[in-house]
Amino acid sequence: MSRRDAPTADRPSRPAAEPTASGPDAKAPRPVTRGRVEKRQAILDAALVVFAREGYDRAGVDVIAAEAGVAKPTVYNHFGGKETLFREMVLSSAIRSRESSLAAIDALPVAPADLTAELLGLAHRLAVCFRDPRAWVLQRVLVTESAHFPDLLKEVVGDGTSRITEALAGRLALLGAAGRLDMPDPVRAAAHFFALTTGEVLTRSLNGARPTEAAELDAILAAGVDTFLRAFAADRCGG
């Protein structure tokens, strides 16, 4: 008769990794019914995955909803539509990515014993940030859809140098003041550091289209840091 005869057990699937002990003696047989507020996050996560995999146009709201384990209108209840969902997903991902990048930069010591090793470590940390699917979508989807969402660019990256570049520039300036680096312009040096390390990684991986192997990643980053130090190390002419 009606379409809701057995409300239980016919929920489509929801893999729902559920790392908790799902042993037979679970007290509360609570089904997968996760809290209401978590659905919003589930949709955002699913949107990240699907948008990153398919691109904006090819991504179907059906697919996102299915990936999130909700019905399609639920997406429209939480977010207004496909575009708003995309925007909020990008923005939240941007924040996460920026924070992780800033943290990576923050971990750069001001007075390192081995400058090369520390810069290499920074490059690796940043590369991890950039290769995190969560951030990867920024480098991929922003480029992909930037022409159609021009305002997203303004919100995510600043107008000129981004906050991340400025953060690194500050660190590099400290290293310069400490006599370890010799740069005409720390901001420019920071930009070039990114260009030589994470930028090269993205270029070589074709913005994530081709997975980069660990060895290749190491080589790229080592080469980038080496060139950077050839250009800006205070003792680059022997010492």
Partner DNA sequence: TATGAATGAGGGTTCATTCAT
Partner DNA sequence: AATGAATGAACCCTCATTCAT
Cβ closest to a second copy, residue 31 vs residue 55: 55
Please identify, among the stretches 10-18, 90-98, 99-107, 159-167, the one whose residues bind DNA according to the rule CB under 7 A.
10-18
Residues 6+ apart with CB under 8 A from 142: 90, 152, 153, 156
Q: How does DSSP assign 79-133, residue by residue?
A: SSSHHHHHHHHHHHHHHHHHHHHHHHHHTS-SS-SSHHHHHHHHHHHHHHHHHSH
Q: Is residue 74 near a second copy by the rule CB under 8 A?
A: no
**H-helix or E-strand spanning residue 141:** helix 133-145
Q: Count residues binding a second copy (CB under 8 A).
A: 52
Among 55, 77, 103, 117, binds DNA (CB under 7 A): 77
Q: Is residue 141 near DNA by the rule CB under 7 A?
A: no
Cβ closest to a second copy, residue 41 vs residue 74: 74
Q: Is residue 59 near DNA by the rule CB under 7 A?
A: yes
Q: Is residue 144 near a second copy by the rule CB under 8 A?
A: yes
Phi, psi for residue 233 in degrees, rounded to 5 = -65, 140
Please identify, among the stretches 19-27, 40-48, 77-85, 99-107, the one whose residues bind a second copy according to the rule CB under 8 A.
77-85
Question: Least separation, in Å, of the C-beta of 198 and a second copy?
Answer: 10
Torsion over CA: 148, 149, 154, 160 (sign): negative
The pair of three-digit structure tokens given for residue 66, joined into one six-digit string: 């299915």
Among 32, 62, 91, 203, binds a second copy (CB under 8 A): 203
66: helix, strand or coil? helix
Among 146, 166, 173, 218, binds a second copy (CB under 8 A): 146
Residues 6+ apart with CB under 8 A from 171: 105, 108, 110
Select from 83, 82, 128 the least CA-distant residue to 107: 128
Q: Is residue 3 near a second copy by the rule CB under 8 A?
A: yes
Q: Count residues binding DNA (CB under 7 A).
A: 30
Among 17, 21, 37, 206, binds a second copy (CB under 8 A): 206
> Could you give the C-alpha distances from 17 to 11, 21, 22, 132, 203, in angstroms and in order?
16, 11, 10, 20, 34
| Backbone angle region of 108, left / alpha / beta, with phi > 0 → left and psi within -120 to 50 → alpha | beta
By CB under 8 A, name the binding residues for a second copy: 1-3, 7, 10, 53, 55-58, 81-83, 140, 142-150, 153, 157, 184-185, 188-189, 191-192, 195-196, 199-200, 203, 206-210, 223-224, 226-228, 230-232, 236-238
By CB under 7 A, name the binding residues for DNA: 2-5, 7, 10-12, 14, 31, 33, 35-36, 39, 59-62, 70-74, 76-78, 80-83
